[in-house]
A and B are shown apart, each in its own frame.
Chain A
Amino acid sequence: MLSSKEEAKILAGGQSLLSLMKLRLAAPKTLIDINGIAELSHIAEKDGSIVIGSMTRHDQLAESVIIRTKVPLLADAASLIADQQVRNRGTIGGSLVHADSGADLPTACKALGANLTAVGPGGPRSIAVEDFFRDYFTTSLEAGEIVTEIRIPIPPPRSGGSHLKLTKGHNDFAIVAVAAQLSFNDEFVCRKAEVVLGGVASTPVHARETERSLTNRELDHNLIGDAARKAAEGLNPGTDVRASAEYRIKMTRTLTSRAIQLAVQRIHGSH
């Protein structure tokens, strides 16, 4: 249907698409409402992953016991989106496909190493989240494809994550958002660090220097502070109605430090 209709678009939660249509920034000739497809709305554990249907609402993510216990970063991110009414409608698939760089779920899913299943006329294919976001509001999804499922590998023991954002007004799109997901070994040495920034580039981006500074180290307050100061290296964020570029850079460092500290606290808290 999507490929046969001219200028057709999928209508998921509609919380971004209908707003864009009102502003005449989008004018699809046909809308295909997929809200009636119950099979696209689910959260389950399967083969070491959490499998989330693309039509799962933000509120379901925020309230899910599986998400809250296994990947609290994602529950944090979902609960920070807009407000209750929007969380009741907005969907994870819709948010990822819309690909607003200041949105929470793209940043969170990138830090969690998610895999997306896209289905099109040629059948299903898997897309790593690293290959999904291409540019402002642009993904590697092809015409005629829809996202059906998001798979998140369940982090190993002694892992912890957090998602924080700075906004103008409560729960707006991010001036900057930071998702940090860490895994420690038995000796509490950091073996894996994913630190992803939202709102400061055309897509969510890894703070690679920060990740390198954390990896294979025992994290203490000073080391985290030093690592977080490198978070804005190589960034060239924009100035817009929400914030200036300089402010974004400063706040990127501050928020990165807080997000890492919260992730570490959660690792210790789970033991």
Chain B
Amino acid sequence: MRQEVAVKVTVNGEARERRVESRMLLVDFLRDELGLTGTHIGCDTGHCGACTVMLNGVPVKSCLLLAAQANNSNVETIEGVARNGKLHPVQEAFLEENALQCGFCTPGMILSTLFLLRRNPNPSDLEIRNGIEGNLCRCTGYLNILKAVKTAAAKMSQKGR
């Protein structure tokens, strides 16, 4: 039974509205309706975290959320992380530490890192591992990702961001 619902979402600061099938997932809404393909679909089973986005300021897996559930919410995707053409310190750190190989997991990793560092500006190795445990990297580049999170923490505490 096809049923449509109106979905109004503020995505990266911009109000967006579409009528979509009620069963559409948020990740498909972002990618197919809004063209924001930086949010990836890795496993589609809620394990890999490639589809991580911020929903009202907290990271969630957008493949485990219906688009209709994001109605009247604020969503931030990887496309909204850099500002005015300038990379966020977390993005700079991932670049500098070579914390990506194929890059598929990177958008999710960066959003999880943003949340982790907001909550805990100076995390220990274990806290970093726990913070990004919901994001899988199949290139197994975790060591450089850990380094990048530390570098990002240092950059952000210097800048007071």
Using a CB–CB cutoff of 8 Å, the interface residues on chain A facing chain B are 11, 14-15, 18-19, 22, 29, 31, 33, 35, 59, 82-86, 88-89, 170-171
Query: By the criterion CB–CB under 8 Å, are A83 and B49 in contact?
Result: yes
Task: Tell me the complex Cα distance, A86–B44, Å.
Answer: 14
Interface residue? B121 (CB, 8 A): no
Task: Tell me the complex Cα distance, A74–B130, Å.
Answer: 18
Chain A to chain B contacts (Cβ below 8 Å), 14 pairs: A11-B69, A18-B65, A18-B66, A19-B45, A19-B64, A22-B44, A33-B66, A33-B68, A84-B59, A84-B115, A84-B130, A88-B59, A89-B61, A89-B64
User: How close is B140's CB to chain A, nearest CB, in angstroms?
Assistant: 14
Chain A residue numbers with a CB within 8 Å of B38 are none
Using a CB–CB cutoff of 8 Å, the interface residues on chain B facing chain A are 1, 25, 44-46, 49, 52, 55, 58-61, 64-66, 68-69, 112, 115-116, 130-131, 133-135
Contact of A86 among B1, B46, B116, B130 (CB under 8 A): B46
User: How close is A95's CB to chain B, nearest CB, in angstroms?
Assistant: 14
Query: By the criterion CB–CB under 8 Å, are A171 and B46 in contact?
Result: no
CB-CB under 8 A for A89 and B60, given A14-B66, A18-B65, A83-B134: yes
Task: Tell me the complex Cα distance, A59–B56, Å.
Answer: 15
CB-CB under 8 A for A85 and B69, given A14-B64, A29-B1, A170-B133: no
Chain B residue numbers with a CB within 8 Å of A14 are 64-66, 69
Query: By the criterion CB–CB under 8 Å, are A84 and B64 in contact?
Result: no
Query: By the criterion CB–CB under 8 Å, are A88 and B64 in contact?
Result: no
Chain A residue numbers with a CB within 8 Å of B68 are 33
Contact of B58 among A29, A88, A171 (CB under 8 A): A88
Most-contacted residue by chain B among A29, A59, A89 (CB, 10 A) = A89
CB-CB under 8 A for A85 and B1, given A15-B46, A19-B46, A171-B133: no
Query: By the criterion CB–CB under 8 Å, are A86 and B61 in contact?
Result: yes
Chain A residue numbers with a CB within 8 Å of B116 are 84
Chain B residue numbers with a CB within 8 Å of A85 are 49, 52, 59-61, 112, 134
Query: By the criterion CB–CB under 8 Å, are B134 and A89 in contact?
Result: no
Task: Tell me the complex Cα distance, A11–B61, Å.
Answer: 16
User: How close is B65's CB to chain A, nearest CB, in angstroms?
Assistant: 6
Known: A84-B112, A84-B115, A86-B46. 4 other contacts (CB 8 A): A14-B65, A14-B69, A84-B59, A85-B112
Task: Tell me the complex Cα distance, A267–B157, Å.
Answer: 38
User: How close is B45's CB to chain A, nearest CB, in angstroms?
Assistant: 6
Chain B residue numbers with a CB within 8 Å of A11 are 66, 69
Query: By the criterion CB–CB under 8 Å, are B69 and A84 in contact?
Result: no
Chain A residue numbers with a CB within 8 Å of B69 are 11, 14, 33, 35
Chain B residue numbers with a CB within 8 Å of A19 are 45-46, 64
Task: Tell me the complex Cα distance, A31–B44, Å.
Answer: 20
CB-CB under 8 A for A84 and B131, given A14-B69, A18-B66, A89-B64: yes
Most-contacted residue by chain A among B61, B115, B131 (CB, 10 A) = B61
User: How close is A241's CB to chain B, nearest CB, in angstroms?
Assistant: 14
Task: Tell me the complex Cα distance, A111–B45, Å.
Answer: 31
Task: Tell me the complex Cα distance, A82–B61, Å.
Answer: 12
CB-CB under 8 A for A22 and B45, given A33-B68, A83-B133: yes
Chain A residue numbers with a CB within 8 Å of B46 are 15, 18-19, 86
Query: By the criterion CB–CB under 8 Å, are A84 and B65 in contact?
Result: no
Chain B residue numbers with a CB within 8 Å of A31 are 66
Task: Tell me the complex Cα distance, A82–B49, Å.
Answer: 12
Task: Tell me the complex Cα distance, A84–B123, Å.
Answer: 15
Task: Tell me the complex Cα distance, A59–B46, Å.
Answer: 17
Task: Tell me the complex Cα distance, A5–B28, Å.
Answer: 27
Nearest-CB residue, chain B, relative to A18: B64
Task: Tell me the complex Cα distance, A84–B46, Å.
Answer: 12
Chain B residue numbers with a CB within 8 Å of A171 are 133
CB-CB under 8 A for A86 and B65, given A19-B45, A29-B1: no
